[in-house]
Structure 1
Amino acid sequence: MASEKSVRIKDIADRLGLSMMSVSVALRGMPGVSEKTRKAVKACAAKLGYRPDPALSALADYRRRVRPTMSFAQLAFVTDYPVKDDPFWGYTNEFLYGAQKRGQEYGYNVVPFWLREGGMTRKQASSVLFNRGIKGLLIAPLPVEDGHLDDLTWKYFAAVAIGPSMASPQLDHAVFDHHHATQTVLRQLHERGYRRIGFLILRRRSTRVHHMPLDAYLGHQYRHEEDRRIEPYLPEALTAEGFWRWFDDQKPDVIVTDAPQDIPRLLAQRGLKSPLDVGLVCVSGQANELEGVSAIIQDLKAIGAAAMDRLHTNLLRHAYGPPQHAHGSHIRGHWQEGMTLKK
């Protein structure tokens, strides 16, 4: 038997009577060989003690990036919105664009797939995807927090979820780092001399991101003097009456929020402005919606690209179905100075 260091793809190909290309495809978990051949190749590789050369793998990946193949395997960007192409969920197209661009570098074509097309059941949708030769799924944010897609036939697919809304099954995922974003905001406010830092996020939005910004805020409050602590405000709906009751009781000198468009209108009712009277900062948002607002900006395309990176890895590993231990990629945002905080 060949030694561990000397085993090559050619050795496996000669042993099984296959081409080197077939062996390479089987070892990388890519489409193009039968399941029987894939298992035979992996069993032979294990028996011979084959180990891939990391340097050669990196070189091959580099070549695929600078000279991408023109033969694209299809992957699906899966949505489950009640209405197809609902404008309310239009922001998720940024995830798709980021995934498509990164996917092209690997040789994939990422196409949208609406799970409710024609009233399909989940089992029917699984069959449609499988029969189209689609083996990789990117799951777009679900329309409800703690969403479930248990009834897809997961054994057919490698999959990665985008965002934190997928509760079951637990998949590898790529999400915005809400906790780090909130910590960054609080550090900026502390450095600028703000001491009574208010926190206002709608309850349903906080629930959707598993209260990660709230957790970071409460941790910050606990670490500072008791007289600086302010009760966070998480209303079901933002009303003038509720806002002013909280504002008058807690007396914040700055407000951390995810609703920066609504707060200035409320402050204007009393002739207050940011940053002169009350500071205002958005804990997460998109640049095109936050012109002039001090904020942490999410890069949705980068999150889509990170999800694509992980899905590519899972496909190479032939990792189909939910993993035993889900892997998470947390993508940080960047600070936008804006004009709603004092310098």
Structure 2
Amino acid sequence: MKKRITIREIAARVGLHYSSVSLALRNDPCLPEKTRAKIKKLATKMGYVPDAALGALAAYRNSRRPHPVHSELAYLTDRAPDEPFSAAIRHYAQKQAAHLGYNLVEYNLASGDTRDLHRLQAIWWNRGVRGIMIGPVDTPAPLAGVTWEKWPVVAYGYTVPEPHFNRAVLDHFQNMLLHLKLLREKGYSRIGFILLPNIEHNTAGRIHAAWLYDHQILHPKSVPIPILDHDPQNPNVIEKWIQSNSIDVIIAYLEQYDLLAARGWRFPEDIGFSLLTRKNYHKQGVKISGFDTKTESLAANTIHFLVSLIHEQACGVLDIPRHYMISGKFHEGETLRPTPRQTPAKKRNIIA
């Protein structure tokens, strides 16, 4: 059996400490690029192959011990600190970062001295920030005007179309297909859908695409109901849309639920109601049905993804960006009719 080449043997050959060789093989930028290239070239020539078993053991031991906070991660957004969605993402991301031994610090492009992204990047470099999580951003253009090669970067969702960062995203397409399937299983056939322009933009059209695929490919005989994408805050417009299309269930948002409830609509007696994006910070007093977008899971997995890139030293905008995708989960609630129980088929008696 061929003898495994070790890091210490490479270090002895190149004349450096084994810790420097380890850093070079992990492409750590604390070593000059020329030094890293020299060590990696020698390691390849000597036939060095990382020991997967030892790597797995080290990862396991590291996951089992408590992590003191030792490095900073940046959370970049331009939304107000008290905006519920961004605040929830920040909260769960900070919790996961602390679990992994990092301190996630928010930097807001819309306030104070942090509006200049070039200045922010200088601050990050001086503070030794290890990686950048980009949260929801309403004005993404400035992010394309700077370079990112010093840090691993992961964007939450699709609010920043360019640069083409690594992303942690919801599987919007499959989530919507499953949402529609579950509604049909409950006996709904006249499904109305309210799609806000900002949701269309922030999901890169994936929810809309799933709606079209469901109606045109999966259920080609269904009569499509026009999507309501204007005046979603006007109850008169919503009611006219419902009545003129004989809608029996709506996929919409918490605001539309409140508007219709205030007009006396009962759920599910008068009409079914399902939230397109049910979030865990929504008011808990009303058990509204809908698709849980798992804000907490996606935020935590964004940090997990970012830390894995830090370990790889995968900095900047990669030639082939990576996407970390998770699914949501349907919440039954009380605003939809129950799914009919399927009667099991009777077993046929076989006469010998």
TM-score range normalised by the length of the shorter chain:
0.7 to 0.9
* RMSD over equivalenced CA pairs, Å: 2.5
Q: Per the alignment, do residues 247 and 190 of structure 1 end up closer, same or farther by CA in structure 2, a change over 3 Å counting? A: same
- Give the corresponding residue for 1:170: 164
Report SS of the residue matched to 1:166. Answer: coil
Q: Residue 307 in 1 paired to residue 306 in 2?
A: no
Aligned 8 A contact 2:117 2:142 in 1: no
Partner residue in 2 for 1:341: 336
Displacement of 1:36 after TM fit?
5.0
Q: Does 1:273 align with 2:242?
A: no
**Superposition TM-score, scaled by structure 2 size:** 0.86
The letter of the residue matching 1:289 is: H
**How big is each residue's C-alpha offset from its partner over 1:25-61, in whole Å with a ceiling of 9 and x where there is no partner?**
3323457655554344323322322221222111111
Q: What's the counterpart of residue 289 of structure 1?
A: 282
Please list, as runs of the form range in 1=range in 2, the aligned pairs for 1:169-248 lying within 5 A after superposition: 169-222=163-216, 223-248=218-243
8 Å CA contact retained: 1:29, 1:315? no
1:264/1:273 contact within 8 Å kept: no
Over 3 Å counting, the alpha-carbon distance change for 1:29 and 1:93 in structure 2 is farther
Aligned residue identity for 1:24:
S
| Distance verdict in 2 for CA 1:103–1:31, change over 3 Å | farther
Question: 1:14 offset after TM fit, Å?
Answer: 1.4
Alignment partner, residue 101 of structure 2: 107
Identity of aligned residues (%): 29
Query: Structure 1 stretches of 5 or more lacking a match?
Result: none
The residue that corresponds to 2:41 in the other structure is 43
Contact 1:284–1:298, Cα closer than 8 Å, also in 2:
yes
Residue 146 of structure 2 corresponds to residue 149 of structure 1: no
Pair 1:97–1:14, CA change in 2 (3 A): farther
Give me the whole-angstrom Cα distance separating, in 1, the residues matched to 2:118 and 2:162. 16
- 1:288 alignment partner AA: Y
Aligned to 2:9: 11
Give the SS at the match of 2:164.
coil
1:132 corresponds to 2:130: no
TM-score w.r.t. the length of structure 1 is: 0.88
Counterpart of 2:87?
A: 93
| Structure 2: gaps of 5 or more residues | 339-352
CA deviation string 1:201-235 (max 9, x = no partner): 22222222222222211211113254532111111
- Which of these two proteins has the greater Rg computed from alpha carbons? 2
Provide closer, same or farther for how the CA distance between residues 323 and 117 of structure 1 changes in structure 2, counting only shifts above 3 A.
farther
Matched to 2:227, the amino acid is: P
AA matched with 2:318: P
Q: C-alpha distance in 2, partners of 1:148/1:187?
A: 40
Rounded to whole Å, the distance in 2 between the matches of 1:131 and 1:97 is 25
